[in-house]
Structure 1
């Protein structure tokens, strides 16, 4: 048996290994339905819905982190922000004392205004609403739960949020149309795709500036890092390609030609397989990273956001065209079930 065939065999075997999944919850932002749906990843049963969250596209958390961070794609006027309702169960005095005080010197005056909602990851209660400069597409939370970021495609930068003080920390220009953000494992850096100029920005979070920009594709969007933080995998949406970027050198080391419009990405538990939602061609594609070999299955219509369910052998993939999320077997790429949702399924988060 050749080494390449052995690697491919081992990758499939790893995907087919017995499930060691523990109970977890997937949080599904429902976009225009103004809510977040909670689903048990093992049983696919609905656990509840968090209402009153307007146009939630971005949602992020981290295992063990205290908060979930939800970003709204809707912009508001400043009078509306000042009159925003206090979280349920909080006294008016506490609301006024804890309402996020933005740094007016750091908040860009020429941007729009939107809200990031911070929720307690355990109780699911809203604990803070924070003003940020413009509509939020995606969010990210650092592995240590210290910081969050929100991308602003119309504002050409990201907001940094301090999750210890629950306040706006600053705005960092990254490039035209920043789309997706993922933290490095140590939480000190965050990587941001800039769709408008084909770059991947590395941002020093504590200092609040871009340390370097790395060219990658034509219009990079979704992004995933390996566990070591040594490589980033990037979906070039309109270019129909995915790329592996070596984060030490900043260079593209592998290119995967998939075709059609791409969207969500995910890595298998042992990181031997990259999954890609090929939205424009109604396919789910897996790529063996050792050999570059691709497999695909029809998934229609319009596979959109994608998240892997750790130690389960499953994926969850939303549809951009219909209100549902597929449960997909990683080894066979076949859908084993569907979850009915409201609105559209955006940036999903899985937490134990």
Structure 2
């Protein structure tokens, strides 16, 4: 079985199962209303899909590519960001308008707990590489909520730039990258002190941020400038090592979700308004091709072939 991409087409209530090598859609699956974000389970057997306007989490069986369950809760109000603990036993879900974090047992697929962030527009979920910390960007409060996974409690809120959305920790665990969509900036923080070490300008309305598997690059999808900022996380120049935008690469219209192939050789960018996915060659840092999907693709995930 080939490697596949799972692409969410949020304005036709479907997902596309795409051959990662050829770009051909093998199957289109109906979902609940307005699928936005997704995450593949650690064992690769199922995919969790946050259907934001349907106020449900759909569960896809990756063996049959059929939706097998719809998880709901009275406090789901635009469920959006998703993330898994390192052992895969817990799924964290951010619900944007109810401003709550849900913790779900992935064995039973039942909600275990609900925590209110006390902040405005809690939108995404991002784990530290060691799995001990969860960062939740609050778009309306211009900060990040920090949760401890051992106690499953909030420990603090970190002020950042205006309208944070794309958030990720570098694979070395030392630097936290935050893309602030209302001011077109990237903030890079020390994960221990939460001090802002660097500020960088990026494209217009940065909404997603993903590291390459080796940590060499961070890719930032800039929604309204229709491009991707490529950040060299440790550029060496004039005796200095620093994170630096080395290229701003045009892609389709309204760049959104980004995912890397496991070997880091390719990156895939969902282009919301051109209904396609850009394939970036990470050796040349060039867009090598695009392939068509459904209407307004956004969330995207990579599913490795099963042996």
Cα gap change, 1:312/1:231 in structure 2, threshold over 3 Å: closer, same or farther? closer
Aligned position for 2:123: 179
* Structure having the higher Rg: 1
CA offset at residue 271 of structure 1?
Answer: 0.8
Alignment RMSD, CA only?
2.2
**Partner Cα distance (2:131, 2:227) in 1:** 33
Preserved contact between residue 179 and residue 222 of structure 1 (Cα < 8 Å):
no
Aligned position for 1:122: 63
Preserved contact between residue 65 and residue 144 of structure 1 (Cα < 8 Å):
no
1:281 to 217, 221, 225: 225
Encode CA deviations 1:77-108: one digit per residue, 9 max, x unaligned: xxxxxxxxxxxxxxxxxxxxxxxxxxxxxxxx
Cα gap change, 1:325/1:293 in structure 2, threshold over 3 Å: closer, same or farther? closer
Q: How does 1:85-104 map to 2 (within 5 A)?
A: none
Return the structure number with greater strand share.
2
**Partner Cα distance (2:192, 2:2) in 1:** 36
Runs in 1 of length 4+ with deviation above 4 angstroms? none
**Partner Cα distance (2:263, 2:178) in 1:** 23
**Partner Cα distance (2:63, 2:87) in 1:** 16
**Partner Cα distance (2:203, 2:294) in 1:** 29
**Partner Cα distance (1:47, 1:63) in 2:** 23
Return the structure number with greater helix share.
1
Extract unaligned runs of 5+ from structure 1. 1-21, 76-113
SS in 1 for 2:199: strand
Instruction: State the TM-score, normalized to the length of structure 1.
Output: 0.77
Extract unaligned runs of 5+ from structure 2. 236-243
1:256 is the counterpart of 2:235: no
**Partner Cα distance (1:285, 1:343) in 2:** 24
1:72 is the counterpart of 2:51: yes
Instruction: State the TM-score, normalized to the length of structure 2.
Output: 0.87
SS in 1 for 2:124: strand
Aligned position for 1:156: 99
**Partner Cα distance (1:177, 1:28) in 2:** 24
Aligned position for 2:300: 348
**How many residues in Structure 1 have an aligned counterpart in Structure 2?**
293
**Partner Cα distance (2:225, 2:56) in 1:** 34
Preserved contact between residue 82 and residue 125 of structure 2 (Cα < 8 Å):
yes
